[in-house]
Amino acid sequence: MWLYEKKLQYPVRIKKPNPQMAMYILSQFGGPDGELAASLRYLSQRHHMPIPEAKAMLNDIGTEELAHFEMIGAMVHQLMKNASLEQIKAAGAGTWYTDHDRATWPGTGTGVPFTASYIMSKGDPIADLYEDLAAEQKARATYEHLIDLADDPDVIDPLRWLREREVVHFQRFGEILMKLQEHRDRKHVF
Amino acid sequence: MYDGYQGYIAGYEPGRPEKPDRHYMPPVNNLVLAQAYIPIQRYGKTFPPEEALKQGTLFPELVRPYAKSKQGGRW
Amino acid sequence: MTGLRESLLNQIRAVEFATLELNLFLNSHPDNQHALRDYNNHVRQLMALKNEYERNFGPLINFGFGYSRCPWQWINDPWPWEYDSGRGY
């Protein structure tokens, strides 16, 4: 069961429309290393975790990723909402406008739809945790690329914040990996 | 397998009395090949809530600022 | 009213974020008493803030986790993703 809390985890307040930046940021909405992929990855893998610490961590980080998915959606929405057709055309977002107007949709800015192929749920807890550690690093790198591309401080600030969360999640998953490796060794030695 | 190890403890604060966590990073000469290790964080100083929200973490030792690159291609 | 709402939401965001961070930390350090004490202290503070928000602005969380006056306050604008030059979240 999930409940909705009517607030963003961290504020998104973008005043200037920028369809080009919206197209870039969409990758974190429905792209290969995006927040939707992260959430679905952890919420799928949690079912076969053998120790309580791992179940809780995948459940809770998977839940937090949904809050990040929401923040990215808000960013895309605010960057597109008041954009003029001239701005949209000049930004090369005319193909997006053709299919979506100014809507938010889970796919990349080049129109590649979200797919479950971006994630794996292997059934081997240690293999899955290594994927999760890699996923946090890839998302961190994506945020760094987006920060490099951005100029507006209203856009950079939430991107910077989301990037820091990837660092924290990496540490937490690392701690879980240590516990899983210990659990495996204890189980097989005795 | 890590019980009793006293290796690198991230975020350790000598002044803070605390029941030691059981799971430490093993010392380097006891590491097993072909698997990764991540140091376990110790509970030390935390930011006040407003500062934590601004930083994106409650824990000062996890802050990793990023310097925006004008050229891209940091590597 | 908008000023009070903003200010309460900002305080809730901050304290809730501290509880989230402690929750994740405790998931991998379940017997850390210092973290647990800080967690419980923040929970008390968070509940007080949420009660004050709901008394003034209606439910913050859906499905029965807050009282509403008439008319049904849950549908009130703005929603979290909405922001128009100074108005909204």
Q: pLDDT tens digits, residue range C34-72?
A: 999 999 999 999 999 999 999 999 999 999 999 999 999
* C10 is a domain residue: yes
- Residue identified by tokens 């914040």 is A161
ipTM over 0.90: yes
Question: Is B72 part of a structural domain of the chain?
Answer: no
- For every residue of A127-147, DSSP letters joined together read HHHHHHHHHHHHHHHHHHHHH
Domain-embedded: residue B73: no
Select the residue from C6, C7, C10, C27 to test the A interface by mutation, using most A Cβ atoms within 10 A. Answer: C27
Shortest CA gap A49–chain B (Å): 19
C75 Cβ under 8 Å from any chain A Cβ: no
pLDDT tens figures, A99-111:
999 999 999 999 9
- pLDDT tens for A152-186 read 999 999 999 999 999 999 999 999 999 999 999 99
- Asked if the structure places residue C51 within a domain, the reply is yes
**Containing structural domain, residue C13:** 2-81
Indicate the number of domains in chain C. Answer: 1
Cβ-proximal residues to B63 (8 Å cutoff; 6+ apart), any chain: A164, B55, B56, B57
The predicted structure's pLDDT at residue A189 = 66
Domain around B16 = 1-65
Mean pLDDT of B53-73: 94
Annotate C6-65 with three-state secondary structure.
HHHHHHHHHHHHHHHHHHHHHHHCCCCHHHHHHHHHHHHHHHHHHHHHHHHHCCCECCCC
For chain B, the domain total comes to 1
pLDDT at B30: 82
Instruction: Give mean pLDDT, residues A111-140.
Output: 98
* Alpha-carbon gap, residue A27 to A114, rounded angstroms: 9
Residue C15 has pLDDT above 90, yes or no: yes
Q: Is pLDDT at A60 greater than 80 in this prediction? A: yes
Instruction: List the domains of chain A with CATH numbers.
Output: 19-109+123-189 (1.20.1260.10)
DSSP bridge partners of A107: A113
Q: Is residue B27 part of a domain?
A: yes
pLDDT above 60 (res B12): no
Contact C83 A14 (CB under 8 A): yes
- Is B37 within a domain? yes
CB pairs under 8 A between B and C: 43
Residues 6+ positions from A42 with CB-CB distance below 8 Å: A58, A59, A61, A62, A65, A132
Residue C26 lies in a domain: yes
User: A5 contacts in C (CB within 8 Å)?
Assistant: 60-61
pLDDT band at residue C86, thresholds of 50, 70 and 90?
A: low
Quickly count: other Cβ atoms within 10 Å of residue C22's Cβ.
26
